[in-house]
Structure 1
Amino acid sequence: MKHIKTFLLVSSLGILVSGCSATDEDYSYVKTEDKTIDHIHGIGYPNNKGELVIATHDGLMKYKDSTWYETNSEKHDYMGFQPYKGGFYSSGHPEEGSKLKNPLGLVKSTDGGKSLDKLAFYGETDFHYLGAGYESKVLYAINQEPNSEMDKGLYRSMDEGENWEKADMKGFESTSIGNIAVHPSKKEMVAISSKDGVFVSEDGGDSFTKVENTQTTTSIYLTEKTGLFASIEKGKIQLHELDLDSIKMQSYPTPDLSQDNPIMYISSNPERSAEWTVVTYNNDIYQTTDNGETWNEVVDEGNLEK
């Protein structure tokens, strides 16, 4: 059954365990034989390699030199996938037949998914909404169900999941969110896209300010000086660039998309700042290498041979 992608309803808003999954000595990325992609759960550019990686229901895939690759093992259902300069953080569920516990809790990989370090809530919690600082490694998570250490709400960790602190979220005035975006190096700057606009915090989520004139936003991504977010406006999708110093926004060139196919994920290449990638609800993947002046449709409704 296809997963239904939807906003998280926000209502009233560990112990470090290290270890690795069983791995195949020949673990690698191989040219994919599949013709379609389903269930995209996150995108980004891990390990500072400048290569686009997407997290799916059936493991990781990589786009390099106009070719798609997939892992030949460790095909876990990665949720909340968050790349950072040393690898990626994620949650989710292990592949069928794996010896890993379900759910994965919070895990980290520094070798492209060959092995997973179990950071927190292993076998206990599946985080669908994670945010990570690309440089700082600070983590933010929305916990949907109480676990051994958390109630419901937004939490932050400055030490890769060993300790968590609940954020107050004062000033956040929306009943649903799209995603969490964390500033690459400023540990206390975090933004949330929501059905009521963009909210930005500069104190670790304790207080938020709404960006003026923002409407329903489905995704946001932060770089050192700017952010890019996607809104639904008058039946169409519009990208906006946000200046993080002035918190002013301006329209950004956008692929021609309708409101029933909103942008769900946005990411930027840390090696080439003009390269952006977006993924839509219907599994369209668009990429620009010139700051939106031109967009190339890499995948059409999940079809790799568009």
Structure 2
Amino acid sequence: MKKGIMASILALFIITACSNDSNQVDSFMHIHGLEYSQSDESIFLATHMGLINMNEDAWNLVGDPEHQHDFMGFTIINEKTMISSGHPGTRSDYVDPLGVIISHDSGETWEPIALYEEVDFHLLHINEGNKEIMYGIDVYNSNLFRSNNGGYDWEMLDSTGLPEPLASVLSLISHPQSPDYLLAGTEKGLYESSDGGLTWTLKENNLSTSALHTLDSNSEELVAYLFGEKEGLFFSEDFGETWVSLNFKLEDDYIMYISNHPTDDQRIIIGSVHQSIYETTDFGGTWEVLAEEGQRK
């Protein structure tokens, strides 16, 4: 099993970025979320410096400075609605940590809805089949939380079986049709829970994953970046029981974020610890570099 992924992530928390006087940028700090837009062909990139909308013409910071936060656990729910966690921007009136925040205007404005000043969810997972069900891992106090009503109310779970601290968990996913069944990637192996995250057992001790992403609500298909006895980006039709390579592997880097296009099942975008972004339009046949070490290509 490879070691030091978490150390690599923490070591990269200082990187330079540049921008001009407008909201247009050509670089960024720290990928904290990466998803295709559900309303057009652009891509949303959550970063330390704010939310960036990426298209072929330009990359633009979204919203006014007071809403350009250090987003963590960023996820798109529908065409207009986004949810996240993290830390307030330098021009914001909010205090740290933000708890759970929501936007109903595609990231232009944000407001706290739960656990304000209490948690920082670096992992915030929304079940693909029932988007009212969410899981979050708070790095401040290293706890696992669950929401059953779209992020407005949360229960802290008395979770056992995962390696400590829980904040070291690298990836988390729930089954689209059975949201109580979860997988968690750690540096000590791949873990599973069948009771909504209360108890965990080791599923694979020679295989784990730094990123997990389900492709739709009606299947067991998922994409993961594996390390251990298999290494690289892989596809599973049975929620991680078997794997097929997608012909992508990094040296001295790991994929942390994966998103699939909402209408084109051949398109996948991925983001790495070292701030690089890659896209395939033929489901892993070929790959294009969109950003390299925080710089637009």
**Normalised TM-score (structure 1):** 0.77
Question: For 2:9, which of 5, 12, 27 is the aligned residue?
Answer: 5
Q: Matches of 2:127 and 2:245 in 1, distance apart?
A: 24
Describe the SS at the equivalent of 2:258: strand
Aligned pair in 2 of structure 1 residues 210, 277: CA closer, same or farther (>3 Å)?
farther
Question: For 2:272, which of 265, 280, 288 is the aligned residue?
Answer: 280
Percent identity reads: 29
Q: Which residue in 1 is equivalent to 2:51?
A: 60
Aligned pair in 2 of structure 1 residues 88, 201: CA closer, same or farther (>3 Å)?
farther
Number of residue pairs matched by the alignment: 273
Q: Matches of 1:199 and 1:274 in 2, distance apart?
A: 29
Q: Which amino acid aligns with 1:112?
A: S
Give the drift of 1:211: 4.4
Q: Which runs of 5+ in 2 are unaligned?
A: 1-6, 12-20
Q: Matches of 1:281 and 1:118 in 2, distance apart?
A: 27
Show the 5 A alignment for 1:176-215: 176-184=168-176, 186-208=178-200, 210-212=202-204, 214-215=206-207
**Normalised TM-score (structure 2):** 0.79
Q: Matches of 1:140 and 1:279 in 2, distance apart?
A: 21
Is 1:70 aligned with 2:64?
A: no
Describe the SS at the equivalent of 1:5: helix
Is 1:41 aligned with 2:32?
A: yes
Q: Which residue in 2 is equivalent to 1:21?
A: none
Q: Matches of 1:119 and 1:33 in 2, distance apart?
A: 29
2:133–2:150 CA contact under 8 A, matched in 1: yes
Describe the SS at the equivalent of 1:272: coil
Q: Which residue in 2 is equivalent to 1:11?
A: none
More displaced 10-residue stretch of structure 1: 121-130 or 66-75: 66-75
Aligned pair in 2 of structure 1 residues 123, 166: CA closer, same or farther (>3 Å)?
closer
Q: Matches of 1:271 and 1:284 in 2, distance apart?
A: 24
Describe the SS at the equivalent of 1:248: coil
Is 1:99 aligned with 2:93?
A: yes
Q: Which amino acid aligns with 1:125?
A: V
Q: Which amino acid aligns with 1:296?
A: E
Q: Which residue in 2 is equivalent to 1:164?
A: 154
Describe the SS at the equivalent of 2:265: strand
CA RMSD of aligned residues (A): 3.0
